[in-house]
Amino acid sequence: MRVHRLPKLLQRLLPHTEWRGPVPEGKKPLYLTFDDGPIPEETPFVLEQLAAYNAHATFFCVGQNLERHADVARQVLGAGHRLANHTHHHVSGWQLPVPAYLAEVQQCQQVLEAFGEVPRPLLRPPYGRITRAQAAALHSHYRLIMWDVLTYDYDASYPAEICFQEALTYTRPGSIVVFHDSQKARRNLRAVLPRYLDACAAQGYSFEVL
């Protein structure tokens, strides 16, 4: 079973985390996010699609990919998007003690700071897996960003048409929406993202940076 939106009761089990973005009165913002890049195979495609709709997004980057593809990261920034922390090696917080997890986050953050990352940076735990102790240790320095809509674009067994329809069904003003600029997500990303942007723009949504 695919859970596109975690129930509020479960969200409350992780204090200090953010699951939706602000919704100013009379506005319909969406907060598109892209995990696991940047990579030259997929990130430029995402940038092209976003540019077609004057859309801005937040890219949660793996530190290793930032080091390997700094030129792609600079393209992201140059297009008006934001870079954010997704740990250095894409690790699960459930498998690491607090000091080791903090070291992973800090290592990625050091790479991000070379690109001029702003104070109170953003962190998304890979797989959404972070312990209460890790969140408590990090929240004073980071905004811990989760999601309101998980598209499952990375699931190769998920038909693109259903991926698109389900993502659209769960979308609402203030949604933090997760896509992936990764090779694993290539098939659904390329099939779904252009249609999703077009459908949401037609419904009057704007696409904002967190």
Does residue 5 sit within a domain? no
Give this prediction's pTM: 0.96
Does residue 87 sit within a domain? yes
- Per-residue pLDDT tens, the chain, 210 aa: give them: 799 988 887 888 888 999 999 999 999 999 999 999 999 999 999 999 999 999 999 999 999 999 999 999 999 999 999 999 999 999 999 999 999 999 999 999 999 999 986 778 999 999 999 999 999 999 999 999 999 999 999 999 999 999 999 999 999 999 999 999 999 999 999 999 999 999 999 999 999 999
Question: Which residues belong to the active site?
Answer: 35, 180
Residues in CB range of 178: below 8 A, 6 or more apart = 33, 35, 147, 149, 150, 151
**How many Å apart are CA 190 and CA 184, to the nearest integer?**
11
Going by their DSSP bridges, the two strands 176-180 and 143-145 should be labelled as: unpaired
Crossing angle of the two packed helices 43-52 and 70-78, in degrees rounded to 10: 10
Does residue 70 sit within a domain? yes
**Which residue range(s) make up the domain with 32?**
28-207
Does residue 7 sit within a domain? no
Torsion, Cα 38 39 44 47, to 10 degrees, reads -20
Does residue 192 sit within a domain? yes
